[in-house]
Structure 1
């Protein structure tokens, strides 16, 4: 394909991708009586954004989402990295079977296990708590799979040199493997944070306390049974998207590097 044609195709795809975001921003700045008009607004207003910031506890919702997303990201990176290192380097019976079982859980979606998960959380007293929002979201097979693929590319000679210095498996993982895997850890941090920031189904199921609502659940409360204040819903969506946009911009290079070096197709 000629370079010019590829460039034009890239411009078209970029325009198609950006167009809904531009429409969203323009709609948020429209007056309420012009919300569903296709034409450009006759005037721009910040009333929708100001209402959400002052009348809706969007700050509390975003704080809850940040606490849950940050906690899940940190704990998951540590545990997934340790599990992936064991599956990549340690030799023990059933290693391939365990890895296959872990990867097979990618075929199980959340709605399938939602009711059993709710019953277990209720039995343990985790409903309406931060622990109930954090603990079920920590394990994810994709993180273990991606890290294992990356660890297989690290030369064994580096770990053997650490072994000669008297390092055990734990010190090898912490002092050799973790520093070398910063790109893939950074990319996973972005993915985990975004996934948990946008989580809706489990936070909706596990919490009834308005003070524990995460941002996506909080936005859903702006929609009523017989009507919805779409101008406020869109305004809250724009505000909630700002942290995710920042996280993606800061981590996009690491994300691409990790996918290139981990063997993902």
Structure 2
């Protein structure tokens, strides 16, 4: 029996290591490609690491502030993603509180109706969303990226489920002491749901940062583009194997902020896997 368990364990480890290699090798190759000279990039054969490490690609990327201002794009994406994330956290926490602690007619019916509508593919809403953005005069502005998607039902569902695990006696005790609904939300509920809010914020930041189709539609001004729309533009500037090292270097710079964010927030991500992890007693 022990032998069978050991064999199954080794098979599991082998499978996981294989999946890890399949995922990691292309990432390493992409990183090392950004440090290759153009001559080595176009040469035949596969080498995981370059013969000589060349930093000229990154120098050229940072010096190009006219046709490909990547630092400006990164700054635009950071402003958009941070603003979007902060608003998401505020809206979903307040909405989740309303769907769990406040009692009004049709509350659950409204919630599940909106949840069902959210299952429609997002591409269905592209044209109506663009028409709304155009009517508001938000084309080529950060508002076109910040406002849409603030009240995502997936995030609201997670917060609602988390809040349902908080004992209702806390609300009743606070009301006896004269606390208002907003006071209960701010002082009692909000601190308890911090883990799931951090995770929803993490997902929102990454989703906003990596959003590709929508910014390509709403942006035409190069200076105002976020990094994802800028990377599409770089395919025309650096593509066709002419400056593939610079294109790969730009992509590597684009993933650094989300990678750093995940490294610092991963403990909250793991904690939120159990939706009741922050509730004790």
Relative to structure 1, the CA distance from residue 262 to residue 62 in structure 2 (aligned partners, 3 Å threshold; closer, same or farther) is farther
Structure 2 length as normaliser, TM-score? 0.87
Q: Which of 183, 189, 197 is the matching residue for 1:185?
A: 197
Q: TM-score, normalised by structure 1?
A: 0.92
Is 2:176 the counterpart of 1:168? Answer: no
2:71 is aligned to 59
1:261 aligned counterpart, secondary structure? coil
Q: Does 1:227 align with 2:240?
A: yes
| Partner residue in 2 for 1:41 | 50
Q: 1:145 aligns with which of 157, 163, 168?
A: 157
What residue ranges of structure 1 are gaps of 5+ in the alignment?
none
Aligned residue number for residue 253 of structure 1: 267
Q: How far off its partner does 1:52 sit? A: 1.2
Q: What secondary structure sits across from 1:260 in the alignment? A: coil
Shift of 1:25: 1.1
Structure exhibiting the larger radius of gyration computed from Cα positions: 2
The size of the alignment, in residue pairs, is 263
Aligned-partner Cα distance in 2 for 1:111–1:79:
23
Alignment of 1:70 onto 2:82: yes
Say if 1:51 and 1:232, in contact at 8 Å, map to a contact too.
yes
Distance 1:98 1:50 in 2: 54
Q: What's 2:17 paired with?
A: 11
Query: What SS does the aligned partner of 1:172 have?
Result: helix
List per-residue Cα deviations over 1:91-128 (Å, max 9, x = no partner).
21111221112222332233211111111111111111
Matched, 1:112 2:124: yes
Question: SS state of the match for residue 139, structure 1?
Answer: coil
Within the candidate set 22, 31, 48, 1:25 is matched to 31
Deviates more, 1:156-165 or 1:65-74: 156-165
Residue 262 of structure 1 deviates from its aligned partner by: 5.3
Determine the C-alpha separation between the residues in 1 that align with 2:53 and 2:171.
Answer: 61
Q: Cα offset for 1:75?
A: 0.7
Deviations along 1:161-211, one digit per CA (max 9) or x if unpaired, are 212211121111110010011111111111111110111111111121112
The reply to whether residue 213 of structure 1 matches residue 225 of structure 2 is yes
Q: Which of 99, 113, 136 lines up with 1:124 in the alignment?
A: 136
Q: Which moved more, 1:46-55 or 1:167-176?
A: 46-55
- Deviation, structure 1 residue 14: 2.4
